[in-house]
Amino acid sequence: MENLNLPDPLATQLKRQKIIEELVQQRYSLNPNYFDLDLVTTLRRELIQLAEEDALCAARIGKDGQRTRRHSIRGDAIHWLNGSTPAQRAFLAEMDGLQTELNRQLFLGLEELEAHFAHYAPGSGYQRHLDSFQNNNLRRITIVAYLNEAWEGDDGGELQIYHEDKPMATVLPQGGTLVCFVSEEIPHQVATTRRDRYSIAGWFRVRELVG
């Protein structure tokens, strides 16, 4: 990881500009090959190692004291990113650059990114939902980065994006792909996967007002 070449600044800026324009036009953005494959491979290995060490926690639904485990609704296991490895720091640095550009052009006031590894075992998925909690819309932009290798259509596990009740896009979770969308506007679901599915899910957030 430490020896990876730095990304070309112009190419990076063009990728970020595409995301911003698509978020404005259609409220979501699909970006195959956004991440360097060496970074993707390293992050996937970290996630697999965490799973082997039993360091993943079953994901829950709901907020604060109402959070509950409902495998029939959400079947992934997660581990929050903390920047403890070079690969995590490289990923978070890239997302920090995207956050800066989103704020500069769209005036979103984003303050932080919370993100976690996610592992969906075969037979699991996540029913259709919004990423913004009722009466709490601190999450403004959702990001999903895929870490899988050689994903095929028959493997399942697609991200399905909706507008109201109508499907807008179906995304294979191919390694290197970055998906972004407006958290409180875009319903989405993870179709049942037929093989181990690895990703990072995160949310750019605004600051919670106190008082």
Judge whether 125 and 191 are in contact, CB under 8 Å: yes
Span 137-171, pLDDT tens digits: 899 999 999 999 999 999 999 999 998 889 999 99
For position 1, what pLDDT does the model report? 44
Judge whether 183 and 130 are in contact, CB under 8 Å: yes
How crowded is the C-beta side of 108, counted as CA atoms within 13 Å? 25
Q: What are phi and psi of 30, to 5 degrees?
A: -110, 130
Whether 8 has a pLDDT exceeding 90, the answer reads: no
Q: What percent of the chain has pLDDT over 90?
A: 81
Q: Which of the four pLDDT bands, split at 50, 70 and 90, describes residue 49?
A: very high
Span 75-81, average pLDDT: 97
Query: Which long-range CB contacts under 8 A does 12-18 form with residues at least 24 apart?
Result: 12/94, 12/97, 13/101, 16/97, 16/98, 16/101, 17/101
Q: Which of the four pLDDT bands, split at 50, 70 and 90, describes residue 67?
A: low
Could you tell me where the DSSP H helices lie in 27-142? 37-52, 86-106
Of 37-46, 101-110, 131-140, 180-189, give the lowest mean pLDDT range: 131-140
Q: Which of the four pLDDT bands, split at 50, 70 and 90, describes residue 53?
A: very high
Which two three-digit tokens encode residue 161? Answer: 């994006």
For position 63, what pLDDT does the model report? 59
Whether 6 has a pLDDT exceeding 60, the answer reads: no
Residue 143, classified by CB atoms within 10 Å of its CB into exposed (0-12), middle (13-18) or buried (19+), is: buried
